[in-house]
Amino acid sequence: MTIPNREVLDISHHNSIDSWADIKAAGIVGVIHKATQGRSYTDPTYLKRAAPAMRATLQWGAYHFADNSDVEAQVNHFLAVVGGDNETLYALDWEDNGNSTMSFDQARQFLQLIEQKIGRNRCVLYSGNTAKEAMGSRADPYFGAHRLWLAQYSNNPVPQASWDTYWLWQYSDGNAGPEPHSCPGVTGEVDTNSWPGTDAELVAQWTGAPVPTPPPVGVPTITINVSPPGSARVIVTGAQSPLN
């Protein structure tokens, strides 16, 4: 049996936020907010809530609720609303959507198209029974290279065969699944997610963006200052003494 470690909430306009500070004080590290759905719908609260959440020092993420419409149009719509940066977690919400459920091939296409825009394997894949039913028992290395945000409302979360384990586990929709359900700062039921590591590890892995490599210690850097009408001053630092 796995005991949830509630560290992440995922919300949309269906949730009422009373206090971001209370959410933070409850031990929440990050929030993943619905941004878009299909080719044209935009959650009206996404952009309004991003800045207040980040001011409360919460990690911020965005998810796209998929359907079976034109995939490239969905990717473009998602990024038009969310933008492209190295501070946001990006997620594809691949779940049952009635007669409009995104297919396996469309989910792959979405991941391929978005990685061209924001970087390889940065997009998190949210799914549960949809991925399991679409992929069966076969392991797909391409899907498995992406972080899995597993939806399973039980104490024994089991990922599809493409993953050895999940990255994030949505253990409750605020009603079904193990406790805790609700969260201070949010009115009523809210989707709750468990993180298996430390807060620092979650923050470090949040965006999936590569960490810039600092220049080696002691390697000189060059700054060039150009002043009209064309004179230049070159300053070399990092050597034993600056050279001008």
Q: Scanning the structure block, which residue is given the tokens 């825009």?
A: 117
Q: How far is CA 127 from CA 8, 144, 154, in A?
A: 16, 12, 15
pLDDT of 240 above 70: no
Average the pLDDT over 52-56 and give the result.
98
Give pLDDT, residue 210.
86
Structural domains in the chain, sorted by start:
6-205 (3.20.20.80), 215-244 (no CATH)
Cα Rg of the chain, angstroms: 21
Averaged pLDDT of the chain:
91
- In tens, the pLDDT along 85-137 reads 999 999 999 999 999 999 999 999 999 999 999 999 999 999 999 999 999 99
Give, in degrees to the nearest 5, the angle at Cα 186 between 182 and 189: 40
Residue 208, pLDDT above cutoff 60: yes
- Alpha-helical (H) ranges within the chain are 20-25, 46-55, 71-82, 104-118, 129-135, 141-144, 199-205
- The Cα–Cα gap between 244 and 237 comes to 9
DSSP per-residue codes, 57-91:
T-EEEEEEE--SS-HHHHHHHHHHHH---SSEEEE
Give the largest CA-CA distance in the chain: 72
Quote the pTM value.
Answer: 0.87
Tokens of 125: 């894949």
Reduce the DSSP state of residue 214 to 3 states and report it.
Answer: coil
